[in-house]
Amino acid sequence: MNLFERMQKLDRRWIYIVVALAIIIPLMIPYDSDNVTTPPTENLYQMIDSFAGREDRAILMSFYHDAATMPELFPMEVAILRHAFERNVKVFALTWSPAGAPIIEFAINTVKEEFPDIQSGVHYCNFGYKPQAFAMILGMGDNIANTMNTDAEGRKLENLPIMKGINNYSEMNLVVEFSGSVAGMSWVTYARPKFGLNVAVGVTAVMAADLYPYLQSGQLIGMLSGLKGAAEYEKLVDIFAAYRDPMIDYSITVDEDGNKILPGRPFGREILNDESSLALSKITTQTKAKFTADQYAAFTAKYPEHLTLLNSLRSDEEGLAVIDVTQITPDMRDQMGEVLFRELNQLTRNTLYKFKVARIGMNAQSVAHIMIIVFIIMGNVGYFIQKARGAKD
């Protein structure tokens, strides 16, 4: 048996080992890579961001899947929840499947740990498992509180602060359906034409091709497809929603005219295209907060009582003032307080593991895709050489 015949008859267990290594190694050793964002993801991000800080707007997240599809769908759900909590967007959640109920709890709890001020019934509301999707979809178009009646904790919806200004789809104007199927089409069929509800979906990669017609026709306003969609959304949240300007004092939440001041910043194409913004979405561990001279002056002006401490931590690199948070001792942390410590950590642009899972996964997917392409090419090379030899003989 020659080499090419052997290649054709390669035991599949060797392929399994190579694929396993191609996935495991990049997961264990993360590296920075750029996930270029696509219009379906950007459109969804911008729609959610347009609700930021508004009492009379909310999004609905429908978790219509079980644990099997969580590796692809869960990072999307976490990214959107993080975006909403960062930018003060009201969130409602439900599931049409009993298996989805614990996923809602898990997703909300995962994100909420980093947002101590976020409260159930005030900033978000979990409807829990609801049977009879079609009836609910249509009912919410008339009145959400009457249709859903209670939340997952059994509280009457009409008594919850989150319901202030929210009656039906005119206010809860966007639904994002997460599923491993084309279940999002129910919203397109029943709620979009009758009530004008904006519909977006987060689906597993294998289902994305089925939904492109609806995206192109405008019936879906956005789509997150598989881990790539989740990675793109994570990147947008890092660059815009989770962005903190060292010169702005975020403890002030209302400006002189009474308008809300929201953390983060609005979506901007020029920011996204700027190469320097890549530094805001790195997945490797970042420990240094970097400031220009003006930024450092403005930042320290917010904490005049800690100026000496900050100066003692400061070093200079490439013309920038740098504070390495790993140099902060427990005593220094006690001295500076939790607010300053948290802000310094945010300014390092370090992202917690749970908020970069999809991007780490995309690194593994990169290598796996390359491996599959190599396998295809190898298989074809072996096939054609063997075929040519057969014809020659």
Partner 1 sequence: MKKTIPLLIVILGGLIFVAWAFSPHYLIQEVFYNQFYLPWIYAASGFAMFLGVISLSMMHSNKIKRRAPKWQYSYLFFAGFIVTALAGFIGGTQKGSVLMWMFENMQMPMSATMFSLLAFYMASAAYKAFRARSPEATVLLVAAIVVMLAQVPLGVRISRHMPAISQWILDVPNLASKRGIALGVGLGSVATSLKILLGIERSYLGGGD
Binding site for partner 1 (CB under 8 A): 10, 12, 15-16, 18-20, 23, 33-36, 38, 66-71, 98, 101-102, 105-106, 109, 131-132, 135, 139, 205, 209-210, 212-213, 216, 228, 362-363, 365-366, 368-373, 375-376, 378-380, 383-384
Of residues 351 and 365, the one with the C-beta less far from partner 1: 365
Number of H helices, E strands in the chain: 16, 9
Tell which residue, 332, 247, 320, has the closest CA to residue 289: 320
Give the integer Cα–Cα distance in Å for 370 and 376.
10
- Smallest gap from Cβ 145 to partner 1, in A, equals 15
42 DSSP 8-state letter: H
Of residues 307 and 373, the one with the C-beta less far from partner 1: 373
- Smallest gap from Cβ 162 to partner 1, in A, equals 19
- Smallest gap from Cβ 44 to partner 1, in A, equals 16
- Smallest gap from Cβ 117 to partner 1, in A, equals 18
> Parallel, antiparallel, or unpaired: how do β-strands 90-95 and 58-64 relate?
parallel
Of residues 272 and 371, the one with the C-beta less far from partner 1: 371
Tokens for 157, please give them. Answer: 């919806």
In the block, residue with structure tokens 């019936």: 219
Of residues 122 and 370, the one with the C-beta less far from partner 1: 370
Strand order through the sheet with 198-203: 124-129, 90-95, 58-64, 174-179, 198-203, 222-225
Instruction: Judge contact between 205 and 173, C-beta under 8 A.
Output: no
> Parallel, antiparallel, or unpaired: how do β-strands 174-179 and 198-203 relate?
parallel
Give the integer Cα–Cα distance in Å for 2 and 206.
37
Tokens for 320, please give them. Answer: 């920038």
Of residues 12 and 318, the one with the C-beta less far from partner 1: 12
Of residues 137 and 323, the one with the C-beta less far from partner 1: 137
End-to-end Cα distance, the chain: 15
- Smallest gap from Cβ 355 to partner 1, in A, equals 18
Of residues 228 and 290, the one with the C-beta less far from partner 1: 228
Instruction: Tell whether the torsion through CA atoms of 384, 385, 390 and 392 is positive or negative.
Output: positive
- Smallest gap from Cβ 95 to partner 1, in A, equals 12
Chain CA centroid to CA 372, Å: 27
Give the integer Cα–Cα distance in Å for 375 and 42.
33
Give the integer Cα–Cα distance in Å for 316 and 291.
10
- Smallest gap from Cβ 352 to partner 1, in A, equals 18
Of residues 58 and 183, the one with the C-beta less far from partner 1: 183
3-state helix, strand, coil in the chain (%, to 5): 55, 15, 30
- Smallest gap from Cβ 296 to partner 1, in A, equals 33
Instruction: Judge contact between 366 and 39, C-beta under 8 A.
Output: no
The tally of CA atoms less than 13 A away on the side-chain side of residue 187 is 27
- Smallest gap from Cβ 305 to partner 1, in A, equals 37
